[in-house]
Amino acid sequence: MRRTGTVLLTALAPVSWGSTYAVTTEFLPPDRPLFTAAMRALPAGLVLLALARRLPAGEWWWRSAVLGALNIGAFFPLLFLSAYRLPGGLAAVVGSVGPLFVAGLSALLLSQRPSRRTLVTGFVAAFGVSLVVLRAAGALDALGVAAAVASTASMSTGTVLTKKWGRPDGAGPLAITGWQLTAGGLLIAPLALAVEGAPPALDGRALGGYAYLALANTAVAYWLWFRGIGRMSATQVTFLGPLSPLTAAVIGWAALGQELSAVQLIGMGLAFGATVAGQRPPGLFRTTESIERKVSMDVTGTALRR
């Protein structure tokens, strides 16, 4: 029961991220992806630092900088760049292969060989998301595709390294999240100023949108995400990622008047089913596989004796 609660709380993170597109298009000034990324990360990080009242020490200064760059500083700008340049939700499809990225990186960095179930479930999740978000489109933008792949690789690497390094004694998920968001925000802010110039004028609607993105969509969501990484396997956590484009599709239907076709509904069912399957304890499947191997060996041995 406790594990189910952890999964459900962690799932709130990608569900919250699924609202990013609607908030960005309906509340925020257009064509300011870097400024928006900085406004998501830096205020959220500073709020969490104030709440945690703890700074990194020793090797955790550079570890926090690396994780902040991977999970926030590089991921946010690359994600926005791919979303602006790719048609038909292709960026979301590339992002949905995150479980496969994490499975490969877990084998390299955590010595955890992916099971066939993980690989099959990962492909099913990506296929389901593609049915939900893909639309007919013309030629693909090479820079957009590269940005989408790089953003997924960046977040996947950050997720695996977060699992590998854990956290220092006495530092909880609140502090770890604050360190990474602050580091990532400090990386994005000067880039936004150099590329996009001075911040735009903001009305009350935009301020409300940025407040939501910084607090609920980023501070709370990333705290839940890193808390989940500490309690679940990296692969299990990243299998929750497809909930983000699925939530975006539901919000588009419910709030923005976008229609959902039968094919999209089938895709949602496949992606959601793969997400649920990705939460099954890996030990359960290893035990089942070992039993099956033992039965097979017993049968083979009996046949040989005969």
Ramachandran quadrant class, 111 (left: phi over 0; alpha: psi -120 to 50; beta: rest): left
Q: So what's the pLDDT on residue 285? A: 41
Q: Residue 44 to residues 75, 137, 148, 185, 220: CA-CA distances in angstroms?
A: 16, 36, 24, 9, 9
Question: Residues 244-263: what's their mean pLDDT?
Answer: 80
Question: Residues 239-259: what's their mean pLDDT?
Answer: 81
Residues 6 or more apart whose Cβ sits within 8 Å of residue 249: 132, 133, 258, 260, 264, 268
Taking a C-beta distance cutoff of 8 angstroms, is the pair 33, 84 a contact?
yes
Angle formed by the axes of helices 60-68 and 173-196, to 10°? 50
For residue 11, pLDDT beyond 60? yes
For residue 77, pLDDT beyond 90? no
For residue 143, pLDDT beyond 90? no
Q: Measured between alpha carbons, how far is 145 from 147 in angstroms, rounded to an integer? A: 5
Is 86 exposed, middle or buried (CB count within 10 Å of its CB: 0-12, 13-18, 19+)? buried
Confidence of residue 269 (pLDDT cuts 50, 70, 90): confident
Tallying the residues shown for the chain, one arrives at: 306
Question: Residues 112-140: what's their mean pLDDT?
Answer: 75
For residue 139, pLDDT beyond 70? no
Of 86-90, 96-100, 162-166, minimum mean pLDDT range: 86-90
Half-sphere exposure of 103 (CA within 13 A, CB side): 20
Report if pTM > 0.85. Answer: no
Q: What pLDDT digit, counting tens, does each position of 187-222 carry?
A: 999 999 999 999 999 999 999 999 999 999 999 999
User: Which tokens belong to 177?
Assistant: 């999240």
Query: What are the boundaries of each domain within the chain?
Result: 2-305
User: Identity (one letter) of the amino acid at 65?
Assistant: A
User: Which tokens belong to 297?
Assistant: 């060996």
Q: So what's the pLDDT on residue 291? A: 35
